[in-house]
């Protein structure tokens, strides 16, 4: 579960209002060493929710991201490299993701997060 993915995840129960962002409590994190890809970072950066990313990174122990994203940084190569690393190389192997609205926790095991819900938590699908 990479931080890039986490940026797009939300709680899927019917009682959550937004269910976003999910709070990470990691118990095991693995850092991989994937090749830097500049075009990918630039493209993906446009859709990433920056404050959520900063918060998620700090929940995983990375506190070096700036709280806001000044436009000058978006072309700085060393910044892009660091951003790529944070987005793609930080993997949550196990831990818990918690919904900010309902407090419902989703476990992460072996990198796979479990969003399967009990029937009571689902919306009604009307006939």
Partner 1 sequence: MAEHRSITLLAPPPSPPYSPMNPHSPYSTTSPTYISVQKLSAVDHLEIFLLSLPPSAPCSCCGESSVEELKIFHKKNNKSVVIELPHAMNCVNCRAICDRLKEVKSAGGLEGRTDGSPLKWRYLASMTQALPPAPTTTTTSNPPHFFNLPWSKFNLLPKFIASLVPTNVIQLKGLTGQAYNALSACDVTTFSGELTGLKRSLKILLQLPFYQVFVPQRLDKVFLALPNIQECERVKKMIDDGVLKLNDELESSFVREREIIEIKAMEDTESTKDVVIPGLTVVRKYVEDTSTAFNYFTSPSCTAWFSQQRKRGGVVSRKVIHYGYVFDYVTNDILREYQQEDGVLEGLPENDQTPWSYVTDKIRNTYPDINQCTVNSYLPGQGIGHHVDATGFGEPLISVSLGGSIVMEFRKGPFRKFVFLEDGDLMSLEGAARWEWSHGINSRMTDLVNNKIVKRERRVSLTYRIAVTKEKEVMPFRPYVAKVEDAVKTPVVELEGVREFYNKVAEQWHHTRSKRGILWPRCVEFLNGLEPYSIVADVGCGDGKYLPAIFKNGCFGVGCDISVELLKLCGKSGGPDVMQQEYDKTSWAERPEVAAADCLRLPLRTSSCDAAICIAVMHHLSTLPRRVKCLTEILRILRVGGRADVQAWALEQEGGKRRFDDQEVYVPFKVQPKYLEGKGSELGEDDGDLISFDRYCHVYTEGELEKVVEDVGIVDGKRWEVEGKGWDAGNWWVRIRCVEVKAKDCS
Report the nearest approach of partner 1 to the CB of residue 73 (Å). 20
Structure tokens of 68? 């806001």
Nearest by Cα to 29 from 55, 1, 48: 1
- Applying CB under 8 A, the span of 58-66, 74-82, 115-123 interacting with partner 1 comes to 115-123
Phi, psi angles (nearest 5°) of residue 109: -130, 125
- Applying CB under 8 A, the span of 54-62, 67-75, 105-113 interacting with partner 1 comes to 105-113
Q: Which is nearer to partner 1, 76 or 123 (CB)?
A: 123
> Longest Cα pair distance anywhere in the chain, in angstroms?
55
Report the nearest approach of partner 1 to the CB of residue 27 (Å). 16
């Amino acid at each position: 579960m990479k931080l890039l993915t986490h940026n797009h995840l939300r709680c899927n129960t019917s009682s959550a209002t937004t269910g976003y962002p999910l709070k990470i409590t990691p118990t095991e994190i693995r850092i991989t060493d994937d090749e830097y890809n500049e075009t990918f970072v630039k493209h993906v950066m446009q859709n990433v929710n920056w404050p959520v990313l900063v918060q998620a990174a700090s929940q995983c122990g990375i506190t070096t991201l700036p709280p806001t994203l000044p436009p000058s940084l978006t072309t700085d190569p060393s910044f892009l490299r660091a951003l790529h690393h944070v987005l793609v190389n930080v993997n949550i192997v196990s831990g818990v993701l918690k919904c900010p609205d309902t407090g419902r926790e989703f476990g992460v095991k072996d990198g796979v997060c479990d969003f399967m819900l009990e029937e009571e938590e689902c919306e009604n699908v009307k006939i």
